[in-house]
Structures are given as structure tokens and as C-alpha cells.
Amino acid sequence: MVGIVIVSHSAAIAAGVVELAREMGGPDVALEAAGGMDEPGHPLGTDAVLVMAAIERAESGGGVLVLMDLGSAVMSAEAALELLPEGRVSAALLCEAPLVEGAVAAAVAARGGMALDQVAVEARGGLRAKAAHLGVEVEVVEGAAGLVQGERPVVEARITITSAHGLHARPAARFVRTASGFDAEVEVTNVATGRGPASARSLNALATLAVRQGQDLLVRAAGPAASEALAALEALAASGFGERHGPAEPAGPPREGLPVGPLEGDPPPAGSALQGLPASPGLAVERARRYDRSELEPPTDSAGEPDAEWQALELALVRARSDIEQRLGTALRRSGEHDAAIFDAHLLMLEDGAILEPARRSVEGGVNAARAWSAAVAEAAAALREAGDSYVQARADDVEDVGRTVLGHLLGTAGVGPVVESPCVLVAADLVPSETASLDPELVRAVVTAGGGLSSHSAILARSFGIPAVVGLGACALTIADGTLVAVDGEAGLVHVDPDAALLTDFERRTRDRREAERDAQERAHEPALTADGRRIEVVANAGSSDDVARALAAGAEGIGLLRTEFLFTERGDAPGEEEIEAALRAVASALAGRTLIVRTLDAGADKPLRYLPQPEEDNPFLGVRGIRLTLAEPELFSTQLRAIVRVAADHPLKVMFPMVATLGELRRARALLDEARAVVAREGVAAPDRLEVGVMVEVPSLALCADRFAAEVDFFSLGTNDLAQYTMAAERGNPRVADLPDGLQPAVLDLIRRVVEAAEARGRWVGVCGELAGDPLAVPVLVGLGVRELSASAPALPLVKRAVRSLSFPDARALATSVLGLDSAAAVRDLLRGDRG
């Protein structure tokens, strides 16, 4: 990655520019300040030795860009280059770009993986307004589509998008990050519609392609790492972008609510029922409270100097980033990583050239920053709304939400969203994600909107926050007067206005039943999960980061049954060191305070690529080098993680688990490396544990079929039912044409679980489940009946999983499990379980 050095006469200015650039470029960019003199107090001036030292610190293999303010700063930088020992840095370039704007642009470009000369071109973009004023032409390469041109070799590939909603915000964000990680220019075209090409570095440009599930992308790349970029993008798509899979929504007209027009007529009469779209399940009866968003109007007066206007916009972008990061944190605490990723996409929009470049051109043309930004946002949102796909159209709301956040800071009137002081049903024209994220479920009992659709990010957040919501009612929703009693049925999509006594009684009964079940589950969430006849089932949580642990414990987790350590290895330019891994694992173990912790070793591969560990292209990454196969092929990387695990296990109860094991040979080689890691740590004087419990994830049918032989060599098994179902049924979860096959309740999958449990019990071992099936209360009776002793699920599911366990007797559960094994399909199993549940 290119490093950046800021040279200024003032140490404070240099430090401030570095701080601003780091906010925009991120913590991974090597930014160094060289300001003031090397004397007490750092008086004004520049020092060639300080600059030389900063260049050496900033070098990380990609060269160093040096930006200077004026006068002696340039001379000191030139002298620093002469002082540098030969070979100390790969390349260093003094750049005439403006200090602040150039530093910000360079940091973003460096973070995107551009080469040194490209970073310099981006930095010089800040000079265009000055150059135009002086009549000097400056050549600048725009970050637009159509980059793959000229005589350079071009490689291309077709990629099929299998995510349920196509290339929407979260997978598109991953696509952009992956493409930006290579020294290649990449453009994308939607083969089915002909839309494109679009730059793979622009989130909004990708969104305008309106890519649905099952459609193909033509991806073309040029540059030194073009083939590697294509391979990584193909692997990313093959993995489903890490998304939850399911059938796509049917193609056709947008599934949005009625357009909101001028209000006409009287409020709905008492007893009427308004039909909308069921956006979030649940029931609520409360008084209506209207929320009207205040509109932000950019000023029409003339702009100041272009440089000053652009600096104002850059400052607003930095402040907006802070706001969105706070929303991300809130969403992480309340709904977990998957839904919180909505705000990851919002952060990427702050860097999107499809918005920033038009805004920059307008500012250079004399338009004030607020109006230039508003126009660019409006243009990007309009392009999304032109798509014939409701999911893509809904992304326009996200663009406008981010745009409004930035505009608020430009105008000095940053909004705070709805202010609610007492319980209510919130009625609005529509809500954007930032407003939904600010809602308190204790006060906002339900949401009713005139506009919006099922695929909007606000609807997704409402579901994850547990707030019932009905959307798309049309303008009639806005005629509901403040204080009107309304009954909201989020499952049916109905809003009852001034309901009669009979309907209120029915709502009260249904609400009471639901709340009693949830209250019982929550009140007893921290109690052990015992069946009616006293069989103990350990209920633990899956965690994908250290932040997940606190949420899991609050939800009643008895420990962590699956710690996915990929969070330590992904979205970075190099592998973590042993000390970093140890510190992260120790923090998790300390937070658990002696509770169960099962650490899964790195589960990566061609389907989950690591930027710093490129893998050869594979025809089918799901059947290639992934999981334990990859770590065995990279023993240095594997041993580093194993030594860190051993160090933590010396002080905390910790078990280790190997993923994607298919043969006994793989298990034995992994155990040999673990024994070697224990020996290394012991030689260093660390009290390594005498024995470390070792388990395997059962994801490959070959392991399940040979479970009796594995049981002699492991301490426990943990069933990854997502992959086990996929491999057993030879059906990829993201393929809509076979979406009904890879179901953990398929009798064939359940029979494999039975075989593993029987083999484990014969050797005195235990079996857990850490796939999605463990968090499904409907499946709990079958899993318990098959003999599973541990269930590891996402934190929100834990209270209801425990409640499901307590509703069982083990003999009845075993009889139920035996009966479902004789059925023909997962659908038949689910029908029987629903009938049995009553």
C-alpha cells in the first residue's frame, strides 16, 4: 500500500491534516506527519531529517507520496530524498497537490490499492480549481466506467449472482472492497439487461446495474493483478457474499407501496382497516403520533472560493462518517453484524466517486458546496429509481439518507430523527435507515408509513429491532390524526383505525399470548435449559467478533460454542501476528469469565478469499481448498494461530475446533501442528495446558459416515448443518432452482446427525450443533431427540431455544425424532413439527 507523508512548517497543521486524511482513508493507510523543526516545542520551519524519518516510517512496499505546504517544505523534502539510504524505500514521489485536499484524496486512493502514480493523480485532483483559475490545464484521470481500454491485455469472466436479492448494498460493498484490493482496473456489465459498464470501485455505479439473483455479470479487468482480481471476485460471488440464502423475490413490477400524493378527503372512519405491506411482524395497539421530517434546503446564493467550498464538504463528510459509525454501533448492539452491515454500505457511499466527482465538478464551476452535494445525491438516487427492480430502487433511500446526513452538517442543522417521549404508533410518510435506527422499541410500539417497501433497509432494521411495521399504505396513512387509537398487525399488513371492542379484545389476547411466551423466555434466559425430565442441554452462542460476546451473555448464553476467528484475518492487507491473535482471544475468554469457549481455527479459502493469501482460481471453490485444507497448506499461518490459542488456553478453559475436516489424515496433521505449537510455547516457559480438548466440525458427509473412527481421536463433534445439508443434498444454498433441497431438516441430513451422535456416545463423546438449525425452535425437539447435547445459535435466538428445550420430555423428543426420520422430505418434516407444536 502507498504511504503518505505530510510536510508542513507547522507541526500542528501536519498532525491535523494526517488526522483528517486518516478519517477518510481509514486506519490501514500509512500516514506520517513531518511538521516543524526538530527542536523543543517544534517551532515553525521544516527539517529534512524529520521528513526522511517520516518517509521511512510510511514505506510499506508500495512507495511513498510526499505532500508539502510551501517554500522550504519543498526544499526539505528534496533534501530528505537525497539523505535516504539507497534501497530504503521502493519509491518516493514529491507531489505538488494541495495539502489538505490532496492528502484526503490520496488517502482514499491508497486505501483502494492504487499504485503510487495513480495516488498522485488523485491527489492532484484537488488542484483543478486553482489551475482552472490560472488557466493551466491539469490532466486528471476520472474514476468512471470504461476504464478497461487501450492496448493492455484484458481478462474477463462471467459471474452468476446467487444472493437472494441480487447485488444489493451489502454484497455490492464487499464487491467494491474486493475489487479495490488489487492492482487492476475493473468494470462490470449486467449481461441480462445490458446495463453498464460500471466501475467496480463505485458502490452506486454497481447499484445502477440492478443485478437480480440468477443474473450474470460480465466482469472485465486490466492491469498487473487483473487475473487475481477476477479470481477473487468469482470466489466472492461463489460464496454468496456471505449472505443468508433463500429464494429470490419474484421478478416483476416493484413491490412498493402506493405513491404518496397530496392529501385529500377526511381521516379514515372509525372501524376501518387499511391494507398495506407486512414489513415487520408483531402486534401493537397505541395512539398514533405523526412524524414529519423537516426538509433541508441548500442555499441558492453564490459560492465562496472553490477551495473553501470543497474543504467545507470534506469536513461535512468527516462528521457524517462519525454519525454513521455511531449508527453502525447501535445497530450492532441491537441486531448483530448482518443487519448492521447496512451502515457499512452507508460508509462506503461517503467515498463513492459516482457522487463525489459530480459534486467536485459543480464546486469547481462555482456552485456552493451544499447545492453541489445535493445535486449529486439527487442524480445518484434518480439513477437507482430508474431501475425496474424494487430492491435496487429501495437503495435510493440509502443514498438520500447519507446525502441528508452530510447536508445537515454543511448547513449546521444535523437532524436527530423522531423525538418520542411516550408510547405510540409512529405514523410517517416514510422512514430512512438513520431514523429507524434511532427508534426506541419501548416507546415506538409500531411503525406505519405511507411509502416504503418490504425490501427497504428501514423495514429490515424494524424487523431486527422487533418493531412491528406496516408500510406502503399510501396517502391515507397521513390522514390518521394524532392521538387516534390504532391497532397494527404487522403479520397481516393491516392497520385498524379506532378499532371496536371485539377487535381490541382479540388483539389483547393475541398480544398477551405472544408477550407471555417472550417474557417467559426472557425471564428464564439465564437459567439452564433442562427438559421436563431433567436432561441438560447446553445453550451457547455463535460469535463472529469480540463485540458479539457481550450480546451473547446478555441473551443468556452459557458460553461461546463457535468463535469464528475470521474477523482477525479478513479485510486487511497482511496476516495478524501471534500477539494480536492472542490479545483478541484473551479478551473474549476474559469476558466469558470461565464459561465455555470453542475457538474454530481459520475457515477461509477460495470461497472466502484473504487479500494477502491469493489462491489459484478453482472451478468450484466450495469443493476446493478451504477450511482445514487451506490452513494445512499454509503451516506458518496455521501454527501462528495455534500458538496463540495455546497461550490463552493456559489461563482459560478453551477448546479448539477444526473446520471442513473430511479425512482422518487431515485431523491427524492438524493435531500434530497443535502438539508442536504446545511444545514451542512450553519451551518459552509458558505453562501450556497438559491437554487441550479438540473437536471437528461435521460439514462433510465423509466425516459423518466415518464418525465411529473419528470419535476415537476427538473429544467432541459440532455439526455445521448449513454446509452439511448443502454437501449432502448436492445443492448450493444460493441457487434458487434447488433452494428447497439444502435444508437441515432433510431426513438424509437428520440421519447423518443420528449416526454421528451414536458414534460419539459409544466413545463417551458429545455432539453439538452450531448451524442455523440450532437457532430454530421448530427444529429443537428433533435435535434433542436425536441426542444432541449442545445448541449454539445467534444471540437473539437463545431465549426461545431454551424455552423450546424446557417444553420437551426427552422420551417424547426421541420418539418424535424417530418418526421424522421415516418421512420423505424436509417439507414433510416441517409440517409434522408444526402440527406437533399445535
| Residue among 723, 672, 704, 676 at smallest CA distance from 562 | 723
Distance linking the first and last C-alpha atoms of the chain: 60
Could you say which of 457, 476, 496, 652 is catalytic?
Answer: 457
CATH topology of domain 154-242: Histidine-containing Protein; Chain: A; (3.30.1340)
CA angle (133, 136, 137) in 5-degree steps: 115
Q: Taking 70 as the threshold, does the pLDDT of residue 558 lie above it?
A: yes
Q: Can you give the residue ranges of every domain in the chain? A: 3-134, 154-242, 273-293+417-500, 306-411, 533-837
**Are the C-beta atoms of 473 and 258 separated by less than 8 Å?**
yes
Q: In 285-352, which residue ranges form alpha helices assigned H by DSSP?
A: 306-335, 337-349
Residue with cell 440421519: 751
Cβ burial, residue 757 (10 Å; 0-12/13-18/19+) = buried
Q: Which three cell numbers stand for residue 56?
A: 521511512
Q: Which residues pair with 95 in a beta bridge?
A: 67
Pairwise pLDDT comparison (579 vs 86), residue with the higher score: 579
Interval 538-567 mean pLDDT: 89
d(CA 698, CA 756): 9
H-helix or E-strand spanning residue 222:
strand 216-222
**Predicted pLDDT at 560:** 96
Please tell me the predicted confidence (pLDDT) of residue 562.
95
Produce one character per residue of 341-368: b if its CB has 16 or more CB atoms within 10 Å, e if not: bbbbbbbbbbbbbbbbbbbbebbbeebb
Quote the CA–CA distance of 134 and 252 in Å, as a whole number.
53
What local confidence, expressed as pLDDT, does residue 163 receive?
Answer: 73
Task: Round to whole Å and give the CA distance between 8 and 686.
Answer: 48
Contact between residue 352 and residue 395 where contact means Cβ atoms under 8 Å apart: no
Q: Which of 90-94, 360-364, 386-390, 611-615 shows the lowest per-residue confidence on average (mean pLDDT)?
A: 386-390
Q: Are 59 and 89 in contact (CB under 8 A)?
A: yes
Residues in Cβ contact with 87 at an 8 Å cutoff, skipping those fewer than 6 apart: none
- HSE at residue 421, side-chain half, CA atoms within 13 A, is 0
Which percentage of the chain shows pLDDT scores above 90? Answer: 34
What pLDDT does 257 receive?
A: 40
CA angle 507, 510, 512 (to 5 degrees): 100
Same fold, 273-293+417-500 and 533-837: no
121 contacts 140 by C-beta, under 8 angstroms: yes
Phi and psi at 744, nearest 5°, equal -60, -15
Task: Give the CATH architecture of domain 533-837.
Answer: Alpha-Beta Barrel (3.20)
**Cβ-contact 461, 437 below 8 angstroms:** yes
What is the residue-averaged pLDDT of the chain?
83
pLDDT tens per residue, range 108-158: 778 877 888 878 877 876 555 344 334 444 443 333 344 444 556 788 888
Task: Give yes or no: 338 in active site.
Answer: no
Q: 109 with 122: CB under 8 angstroms?
A: yes
Note the pLDDT tens digit of each residue in 330-370.
777 666 665 666 777 788 888 888 899 999 999 988 889 99
Contacts of 211 (CB under 8 A, 6+ apart): 161, 166, 167, 190, 217
pLDDT in tens, 217-263: 889 988 888 888 888 888 788 777 765 444 444 333 333 443 343 34
Give, in degrees to the nearest 5, the angle at Cα 581 between 24 and 182: 45
Residue type, 591: A
Three cell numbers, residue 738: 434447488
Instruction: Compute the radius of gyration of the chain from its Cα atoms.
Output: 29
What pLDDT, in 10s, does the model give residues 634-679? 999 999 999 999 999 998 999 999 999 999 999 999 999 999 999 9
Mark whether 770 is an active-site residue. Answer: yes
Check residues 63 and 739 and name the one with the higher pLDDT.
63
Residue pair 170/344 in contact by the 8 Å Cβ criterion: yes
Confidence of residue 553 (pLDDT cuts 50, 70, 90): very high
Fold for the domain defined by 3-134: Rossmann fold (3.40.50)
pLDDT greater than 60 at residue 17: yes
Contact 426, 289 (CB under 8 A): yes
What cell does 705 get?
459416515
pLDDT at 388: 52
Q: Under CATH, what is the fold of the domain 273-293+417-500?
A: Glucose Oxidase; domain 1 (3.50.30)
Residue percentage of the chain with pLDDT more than 70 = 85
CA distance 233 to 221: 11
N residues, the chain: 838
The per-residue pLDDT for range 721-777, each reduced to its tens digit, is: 988 998 999 987 544 456 568 889 999 999 999 999 999 999 999 999 998 789 888
Residue 127 confidence (pLDDT): 58
The average pLDDT across 170-178 equals 76
Q: Name the pLDDT band for 440 (thresholds 50, 70, 90).
A: confident
Paired with 177 in beta bridges are none
Predicted pLDDT of residue 416? 61
**Which residues have C-beta within 8 Å of that of residue 254, sequence separation ≥ 6?**
388, 389, 390, 393, 453
Q: What is the DSSP string of 755-774?
A: HHHHHHHHTT-EEEE-SGGG
**pLDDT mean over 89-93:** 81
Residue 461 has pLDDT above 90, yes or no: no
Name the 3-class secondary structure at 160: strand
CATH topology of domain 306-411: Enzyme I; Chain A, domain 2 (1.10.274)
Task: Report the alpha-carbon distance of residue 176 to residue 196 in Å, rounded.
Answer: 15
Q: Please state, in angstroms and rounded to a whole number, the distance separating the CA atoms of residues 831 and 838.
A: 11
Q: ω before 197 within 30° of 0 (cis)?
A: yes
Are 791 and 537 spatial neighbours (Cβ–Cβ below 8 Å)? yes
